[in-house]
Amino acid sequence: MNDWAILSGIEGNLAAYEAVLADIKRQRQPVEELYILGDVIAPTAESEQVIQRVRSPQQNEPMPQVCQGWWEEQLLILHGLGRTGEPTELIERYGITMVKTLWDAIPREMVEWVRSLDFGLFELDCLLIHGSSVSVSDQLTPDTPAMQMLDRLMRMEANTLFCGRSGLTFQYEIQQGTVTSSLTTLDRSNSPQAIAVKPRQVVGVGNVGRLPGQASYALYRPNSNQVEFRTVRYGAGKGFQRASP
């Protein structure tokens, strides 16, 4: 099976996305699947172009599979299509003026597409999602407690969880673990049993568009379970230039 490219957080930055696409095409091992873990948009007018670019790949590019990110969820909430009614989180983080900025930035006809996106994607034994199995806002980082990481993996019975909320690139491997469990009910009492956890991992796939001139994303080789992080430098506003390993 060929490689996957997994990215998150284009955040309406078309030049950054083009740079990443060019880098993907340069890979010696062909990239078969392209996953975008949300935040395709940001409250900028350029977001519309990015959506169009994502939806219409060129002939030699894989069709991106996209799930909702934090910005997409905020947009849906504004349009009354979200999981919660009030844009509380948006206002808390960016102030009340952001409501109008975001509303104005994304044309109505794009909302239907945003709405059609899945909350997360499940491929092989991998969960691909913006935040985590808990919510789009759930931010997993290299410093997240191990039990919390394990919980996010086990909620969806995934062996690998790819996420993008933190914008960081990291590979967090749970190599092994045990716990002794015993149970007493009204009618019986079980003797303690050792339970082991099988190896699992959480992968932060970086962020494409937030940092001008520098995009990061991840390559995944399902056969060997190998993860490689790519950092792509590009001339801001001028399209892509060259990749640096």
Write the binding mask 34 to 73 for another protein: x where contact by CB under 8 A, - elsewhere.
----------------------------------------
Strand 226-234 to 214-221 pairing: antiparallel
Location of structure tokens 């960016």 = 94
8 binds another protein (CB under 8 A): no
Q: Which helix (H) or strand (E) holds 217?
A: strand 214-221
Q: Which residues of 73-99 are buried (b: 16+ CB within 10 A; e: fewer)?
A: bbbbbbeeebeeeebebbeeeeeeebb
Q: Which is nearer to another protein, 14 or 114 (CB)?
A: 114
Counting contacts by CB under 8 A, is residue 148 touching another protein?
yes
Q: Does 220 sit near another protein (CB under 8 A)?
A: no
Alpha-carbon span 224 to 19, nearest angstrom = 27
In the complex with another protein, the residue whose CB is nearer, 43 or 120, is 120
Give me the least distance between CB of 155 and another protein, in Å please.
7
| Cβ at position 111, least distance to another protein in Å | 19
Pairwise CA distance, residues 164 & 140, whole Å: 8
| Residues in region 175-204 near another protein by CB under 8 A | 175-187, 192, 195, 197, 204
Length reported for the chain: 245
Where does this chain bind another protein (CB under 8 A)? 83, 119, 134, 142, 145-151, 154-155, 168-187, 192, 195, 197, 204, 216, 229, 231
